[in-house]
Amino acid sequence: MSRTLVAFLLLGVSCSLADPLYRNEEEPALPQLDGRIVGGQDTNITFYPHQISMRYNGNHRCGGAIYEKNKVISAAHCVNTLSGPGNLTIVAGSSNIWFPNTPQQVLAVREFIIHPKYRTLNNDYDAAILILDGEFEYNDAVQPITLAKERPEHNTTVTVTGWGTTSEGGTISDVLQEVEVNVVENSECKSAYSIMLTSRMLCAGVTGGGKDACQGDSGGPLIYKNELLGIVSWGTGCAREKYPGVYCSVPDVREWLLETIDSYADVGKIDFL
């Protein structure tokens, strides 16, 4: 048996983007609080104007965050199975993914760059940069976000947002959801995820479960003090007690993000020479 298979069997880790939204082979979820994201509430894009919906053939696939007018940060696992950026679009500016409540902006993707150390086995270094075809126009509902430099201490309250499923195996949400969770330090999170957890990952959850990101939230932002602290990455099920959500830790991939973004500073501008 392959190592990947063994790891997935052992830990029941659910993330593969091959089956993000519509399939769930896990045991049934524990009863959930009436919830969105899981356990969250409706919010408005103007409170999270960096949030985008990544679409593949027009279907919501993942979340992401605007970093610059033509650059989005998301998860490596959201794009690594694709042969190229064709059929991907980035939608910004609306809280509702089916019925835009504010003028939404849609841009195609010119290119994506996956973290060179990304590892499918455990989603280590689960970060990617998407270079867009064109630029977003900033307004109340469309804004960039800055990158957090440090991991906050254990138990710090942070916020995750997205249109992902509102329960394990459920359906995606039409309205953007927000939920507050608490940082679980890696030494403690190891008890849930053992060797799958690396120092590039950051865990967050709540005691007793019931609040978490879920399928379709991947690539989306975990926010602390209005900065991008994490990228929704993986977890065992969603919102289960003792299984926090796992995020790619932005402070730990920040240098790569900045360097790479820097090296793409002129992409798009060349057209105007």
Catalytic residues: 77, 126, 218
Closest C-alpha among 89, 21, 82, 101 to residue 54: 89
**124 binds ligand ARG, rule: CB under 6 A:** no
**245 binds ligand ARG, rule: CB under 6 A:** yes
Q: What is the DSSP letter of 7?
A: H
271, two tokens:
């057209």
Kindly state the number of chain residues that form the binding site for ligand ARG, as judged by CB under 6 A.
Answer: 16
Q: Which residues are CB-contacts of 5 (< 8 A; sequence separation ≥ 6)?
A: none
Residues numbered 148 to 167 that lie near ligand ARG (CB under 6 A) are 164
CA distance 233 to 244: 11
CA distance from start to end of the chain: 54
**261 binds ligand ARG, rule: CB under 6 A:** no
Nearest distance from residue 270's CB to ligand ARG, in Å? 33
DSSP string, 148-174: P-SPPPTT-EEEEEES-BSSTT--B-S
Stretch of 12-20, 132-140, 171-179, 222-230 contacting ligand ARG, by CB under 6 A: 12-20
**64 binds ligand ARG, rule: CB under 6 A:** no
Stretch of 26-34, 150-158, 189-197, 206-214 contacting ligand ARG, by CB under 6 A: 206-214
**51 binds ligand ARG, rule: CB under 6 A:** no
Stretch of 43-51, 129-137, 194-202, 213-221 contacting ligand ARG, by CB under 6 A: 213-221
**218 binds ligand ARG, rule: CB under 6 A:** yes
Q: Which listed residue (45, 183, 231, 238) binds ligand ARG by CB under 6 A?
A: 238
CA distance 80 to 75: 9
**214 binds ligand ARG, rule: CB under 6 A:** yes
Q: Which residues are CB-contacts of 69 (< 8 A; sequence separation ≥ 6)?
A: 135, 136, 137, 138, 144
Stretch of 24-32, 101-109, 233-241, 254-262 contacting ligand ARG, by CB under 6 A: 233-241
Nearest distance from residue 219's CB to ligand ARG, in Å? 7
Sole residue written with tokens 């906050």: 152
**213 binds ligand ARG, rule: CB under 6 A:** yes
CA distance 145 to 223: 9
CA distance 142 to 132: 15
CA distance 35 to 57: 28
**Closer to ligand ARG by Cβ: residue 146 or 155:** 155
CA distance 115 to 233: 14
The site for ligand ARG (CB under 6 A) is made up of: 15, 17, 20, 164, 212-218, 232, 234-235, 238, 245
